[in-house]
A and B are shown apart, each in its own frame.
Chain A
Amino acid sequence: MILAGGQSVIPALNMRLNEPAVLVDINKVPGLGVIEEKGGVLRIGALCRHEQVRKSVDVSAHAPLLTKALAHVAHPAIRNRGTFGGSLCNADAAAELPACVLALGATLNVESAEGSRAIAAEDFFFGFFETALEEGEVLASIDLPVLGATGRHFFDEAARRRGDYALAGLAAAARVEGGRMIAPRFAFISCGDRPLLAGALGELVATRYPDAPAEDEIAEALARDLEPPEDAVTSSAARMRIATVLAARAIREFQQNGGRA
């Protein structure tokens, strides 16, 4: 098993939830901790720490969605160790970064002894803590399209306490060009067994632009898109309600910013 930041692996070992025969520490592998922008693509190395990404000026300029989202990921001491790639490979449906890369339409660059392949974020998250990674594959970097003048990013979530996993959250991205909203992508956190891209909502919002759908229409679309889990403290309906409110907020922000551009 690969050991990156260890902020998910080591708790699991300490709690005896996992007993890997071998741990392979990749922390000293050179070249995996770099952030760079080239020709409209922002590349984030898999070993970049959460705090490094949160404080990066390249990231806040080209992918402000991540800067915002990372403030909600755990606490500073955990963000100092935890890695961008580790969070994606861990594929927790309640984690912020998987939803962000889904909203941004990222490409995940994977390496193995056999060679390399690129996996679209849509094809990476399979289910409950499950990804498309095969035995022997390592995530090396993540490529994101830069925001650009017509781009819109949104991130927000509801959590019980600062740094807790979200009850529900939303990462969204779109472009507003020539009076049209293009490819709005709404990715929801804690609303299924993996981060979910809300296709019905995206279509509704794009068709209606520059008008905004009413809240009950948003809720109707989300009922088709999401399957929020239920636990001892939070009902599925409560998560659905939070998701609806967040979606309405994102749509409003996209419209206001779109009007100004």
Chain B
Amino acid sequence: MSRRAITLRVNGEEVTALVEPRLNLADFLRQEAELTGTHVGCEHGVCGACTVKVDGRAVRGCLMLAVQCEGAEIETVEGLAASAQGSELCEAFVEQNALQCGFCTPGMLITAAELLDDNPAPTREEVRDHLSGNYCRCTGYQAIVDAVMDVAAKREMS
């Protein structure tokens, strides 16, 4: 299949590339944009490691084609971590030991950031619910929920 030219914004920077229509967004970000923070685990939507924001909403990078992102604004974990909100989340993850191998962390951070955008003071149950589609094989989840709750509490105080 012939390659298609696409132009999109990734973490605020314009990116133009020639891609095969079959290339998924997660592979595009890793291979073409060289942003390897977005991880690829299951490639069928189940693990959440590839989660990125497209036009402000968290989606599975493995379940969207790069050509569908023409004109879109993508935020990856690299962009999130460079923002004030994102670095707050990253720090809380470190403080609470919310990562061990770190494979799930980019997806967890993007998903948690989306939750806190919509719902700045979630209950523990709401955090668990929102993160229910992100697998972590190391931490046992409690520390991740703790970290998200910490950020919400900190923001409420400030």
Contacts and interface: CB of A to CB of B under 8 A. Distances in A.
A74 B133 contact: yes
B30 interface: no
A6 B22 CA distance: 12
B45 A76 contact: no
Nearest to B44: A11
A162 B58 contact: no
B48 A75 contact: yes
The number of chain A residues touching the other chain, given as a range, is 20 to 34
Contacts of A75: 48, 132-134
The number of chain B residues touching the other chain, given as a range, is 20 to 34
Given A6-B65, A7-B63, A77 B48 contact: yes
Interface in A1-20: 6-7, 10-11, 13-15
Given A14-B43, A27-B68, A78 B57 contact: no
Interface in A26-47: 27
Interface in B104-126: 111, 114-115
Nearest to B46: A11
Given A74-B133, A80-B57, A6 B44 contact: no
A80 B60 CA distance: 9
A10 B57 CA distance: 19
A15 B60 CA distance: 15
A81 B133 CA distance: 14
B45 A11 contact: yes
Contact of B63 (A10, A23, A51, A163): A10
A75 B58 CA distance: 11
Contacts of A10: 24, 44-45, 62-65
B133 A78 contact: yes
Given A6-B64, A81-B64, A14 B114 contact: no
A80 B52 CA distance: 12
Interface in A64-83: 74-78, 80-81
B59 interface: yes
Contacts of B115: 76
A25 B48 CA distance: 23
User: Main SS of chain A's interface residues?
Assistant: loop
Contact of A77 (B43, B128, B133): B133
A260 interface: no
B76 interface: no
Contact of B45 (A7, A23, A25, A27): A7
B29 to A, nearest CB: 15
Residue in A23, A76, A80 with the greatest tally of chain B CB atoms within 10 Å: A76
Interface of A: 6-7, 10-11, 13-15, 23, 25, 27, 51, 74-78, 80-81, 161-163
Interface of B: 21-22, 24, 43-45, 48, 51, 57-60, 62-65, 68, 111, 114-115, 128-130, 132-134
27 contacts: A7-B63, A10-B44, A10-B45, A10-B62, A10-B63, A11-B43, A11-B44, A11-B63, A14-B44, A14-B62, A15-B44, A25-B65, A51-B57, A75-B48, A76-B58, A76-B111, A76-B130, A77-B60, A77-B114, A77-B133, A78-B45, A80-B57, A80-B58, A161-B132, A162-B128, A162-B132, A163-B132
Among all A-B residue pairs, the 10 with the closest Cβ atoms: A75-B133, A11-B44, A162-B132, A80-B57, A77-B58, A10-B63, A14-B43, A163-B132, A81-B59, A77-B51
Given A77-B59, A81-B60, 11 more contacts: A6-B63, A6-B64, A10-B64, A10-B65, A23-B21, A75-B133, A76-B58, A78-B60, A162-B129, A162-B132, A163-B133
